[in-house]
Amino acid sequence: MGELEVYEGTATIEKVAALGRRRGFVYPSSDIYGGLGSAYDYGHYGVLLKQNVKAEWQRAMVQERDDIVMLDSAIILHPQVWVASGHVGGFSDPLVDCRTCKHRYRADHIGDAACGRRPSKHPGETADCDLTEARAFNLMFETSIGPVRDEGSLAYLRPETAQGIFINFKNVTSSLRVKPPFGIAQIGKSFRNEITPGNFLFRTREFEQMEMEFFVPPAESVKWYEYWIAERRRWYLDLGLRDTHLRVRPHDPDELSHYSSGTSDLEYLFPIGWSELEGIANRGDFDLTAHAEASGTKLEWIGHEERYVPHVIEPAAGADRATLAFLVDAYDEEEVGGDERTVLRLHPRLAPVKVAVLPLIGKDDGLVGHARPLYEELRKVMSAEYDDSASIGKRYRRQDEIGTPWALTIDHQTLEDGTVTIRDRDSLAQERIPIDGARALLEDRLRQPWQPR
C-alpha cells in the first residue's frame, strides 16, 4: 500500500477539541477571562487519559526493562546549564514582524501563515505588507530567582527535560547499578515561548515531555539509534495507532540540530497533515562533553579496563502531542440503527474508564443490589463508572464518547441466573457472562494484545 497523503477518517482537530471540551477531557485555559491563546487545562477524563499515556511510556521504558532508570529533575536549573547546552545562544526561531498590521510570523512558516489584514493572502503578498528582516527569537521563558530582579537573578524555565538528565549523569552512575548501555528517563513539563502555537494540543507554550537519554559505548551508537527508532514506532502501534498513520522520516543533513549527527522523526498523519510526533536523535557526546567543560566535572564512564564519554541516543516524545494523536486516531463517527454515534476507539489500556456498570433500571432495588457491589469490587482494580441515569441507550452513547471499552448491564435475568451482559464498545456485540467472573475476565482482557479495527 502506498503512503497516504491526507488523513482518511471522520476526525478533525476541531471535532476532537469540541468533544474534548463537551465531555470533560480538555478545556481552553483561563476560559472565564477570555482564554489564554493555545493554553489548555485537562479535565477529569483528559487527566486519566494522559496519565495512562505516561504510565504506558514508563511501563515500556522502565518497568519492562532492566537497563533504564527514572529521574525527576527541577524545572528551573542553574542558568549555566542553558549556556553550556547551546540553548542561550541558539534555541531560537527566525522571527519576522509586519510593521503595518503588527503581526509576528515565523520566517520559515510564512507560507502557512495568513496576512493580518487580508487573511486570504500570505504575509508579504500585498502592497500594504511591510515585513522586517528575520531576526533570531529565543524561545526560552525567562524568570528571576530571589527578591531582586537583576542580571544575576536571571533564570529560565526548562525548554526540554533532557538537560536535567545530562547534568545528573554523575549522580546516577555513582548511586545506581547502571552500566552502558543504559538509559535515564524523565517525564515532566517543558516551556517554550512558541511564536506560532496552535492546532489544539499539538503546539503549546507549556507542555509535557517524555524523554529518555540512552548512554552507549561510542562504537554502538548507530546500532542503538536504529534500535530506538524501531522500538518507539512499535510502542505507538501496540497502543493502537494505525500503521498507515505512522511513518519514520530521517532528517536531511541541513535540518539537524546543532547537537545531532542523526535524527529521525516519527510522524503521525494528523488531519493537518504529516507532523512530528516524536524525535529520535543521535546526540553523540555533545551534551556530556559540553557540561563537563562548562562545569569542570568529568562526565565519563569509568569501567574496569575502559574509560570513555558515552554517546547518547534520545527518544524525545510529547505527552500532550501523543495524547492528541491517540484521540484523533480513536475518534470515529458512524451510524448505528439509524442513529449517529461518536465513539473513541481508544486502546483499553489508554481508555480513561475501563468499564461502566449499568443497572437496566436505576430505581430497581433488586438490580441496584447487584450493580453497586459489582461496581465497588471493580473500582478497586480499575477505573470504573456507575451510571443509573437516563435510558440504557443514552448511557451506552455517553460511554462510547469517552472511549469506555466495556459496559456491564445488570438486568432481570441477573436476578434469576447470576449473569450480566458485557457490551463491546467497538463491535457492539453483547454476551452474557457470570457476574462472579466479570472482574477476572476484564483483568484478563486488559492484559491481552488489542486489535484496533
Taking the complex as a whole, how short is the minimal distance between the CB of residue 211 and ligand GAP, in angstroms? 5
The least CB distance from residue 330 to ligand GAP, in Å, is: 18
* Residues that contact ligand GAP, how many (by CB under 6 A): 19
- State the residue for C-alpha cell 570513555: 308
Give the long-range contacts of residues 28-36, CB within 8 A, separation 24 or more: none
Binder to ligand GAP among 204, 282, 323, 421 (CB under 6 A)? 204
Determine the residue type at 365.
Answer: D
Q: Which is nearer to ligand GAP, 270 or 331 (CB)?
A: 270
Least distance (Å) between residue 278 CB and ligand GAP = 5
- Least Cβ distance, residue 287 to ligand GAP (angstroms): 10
Provide the β-strand partners of residue 332: 343
Q: From the list 52, 85, 186, 209, which residue makes contact with ligand GAP (rule: CB under 6 A)?
A: 209
Query: Taking the complex as a whole, how short is the minimal distance between the CB of residue 296 and ligand GAP, in angstroms?
Result: 24
Of 311 and 370, nearer to ligand GAP (C-beta) is 311
Q: Which of 318, 348, 352, 405 binds ligand GAP (CB under 6 A)?
A: 318
Among 203, 245, 345, 370, binds ligand GAP (CB under 6 A): 203
DSSP 59-112: IIIIIT-SSEEE----SS--HHHHHHTTHHHH-EEEEEEBTTT--EEEGGGGGG
The smaller minimum CB distance to ligand GAP, of residues 211 and 411, is found at 211
Query: What's the DSSP call for residue 304?
Result: S
Cell 540512552, located at residue: 214
Q: Across the chain, which distance is largest between two alpha carbons, in Å? A: 80
- For residues 242-281, which are near ligand GAP according to CB under 6 A? 276-279
φ, ψ (nearest 5 deg) of residue 18: -65, -45
CB of 416 to ligand GAP, least distance (A): 53
Residue of 56, 211, 387, 401 that binds ligand GAP (CB under 6 A): 211
The Cα–Cα gap between 73 and 299 comes to 18
Nearer to ligand GAP, 188 or 279 (CB): 279
Residue 21 or 251: which CB sits closer to ligand GAP? Answer: 251
The torsion region of residue 9 among left (phi > 0), alpha (psi -120 to 50) and beta comes to left
- Asked if 349 is part of the footprint of ligand GAP (rule: CB under 6 A), the reply reads no
Shortest distance, CB of residue 53 to ligand GAP, whole angstroms?
Answer: 12
* CB closer to ligand GAP, 277 vs 327: 277
With contact defined as beta carbons under 8 Å apart, do 213 and 183 qualify? Answer: yes
Q: Which stretch binds ligand GAP (CB under 6 A): 11-19, 119-127, 226-234, 317-325?
A: 317-325
Backbone CA torsion sign across 161, 162, 168, 173: positive
Q: How many residues does the chain have?
A: 453
- Span of 112-120, 164-172, 316-324, 334-342 interacting with ligand GAP by CB under 6 A: 316-324
Smallest separation, CB 98 to ligand GAP (Å): 23
What is residue 17's DSSP assignment? H
Q: Which residues, other chains included, contact 266 with Cβ-Cβ below 8 Å and sequence gap of 6+?
A: 229, 232, 233, 236, 246, 247, 248, 276, 277, 278, 279, 280
Count other C-beta atoms under 10 Å from residue 31's C-beta: 11
Task: Using alpha carbons, list the distances in angstroms from residue 396 to 13, 150, 422.
Answer: 24, 59, 12
Find cell 469517552 and name the residue. Answer: 402
Which letter, b or e, does each residue of 131-142 get, where b requires 16 or more Cβ atoms within 10 Å of its Cβ? beebeebbbbbe
Among 317, 410, 420, 435, binds ligand GAP (CB under 6 A): 317
Asked if 285 touches ligand GAP (CB under 6 A), the answer is: no
Report the residue number whose CB is nearest to ligand GAP: 318
- Neighbouring residues of 220: CB distance < 8 A, sequence distance ≥ 6: 181, 311
Whole-number Å distance between alpha carbons of 154 and 74 = 16
Residue 345 CB, nearest distance to ligand GAP (Å)? 22
Closest separation in Å from C-beta 433 to ligand GAP? 40
Task: Write down the least CB distance from residue 162 to ligand GAP, Å.
Answer: 4
Applying CB under 6 A, among 13, 157, 316, 438 the residue interacting with ligand GAP is: 316
Cβ distance to ligand GAP smaller for residue 36 or 415: 36
Stretch that binds ligand GAP, among 108-116, 204-212, 243-251, 300-308 (CB under 6 A): 204-212
Site for ligand GAP (CB under 6 A): which residue of 93, 285, 287, 320?
Answer: 320
Which residues in 161-200 contact ligand GAP (CB under 6 A)?
A: 162, 192, 194
Chain residues that interact with ligand GAP, rule: CB under 6 A? 160, 162, 192, 194, 203-204, 207, 209, 211, 276-279, 314, 316-318, 320-321
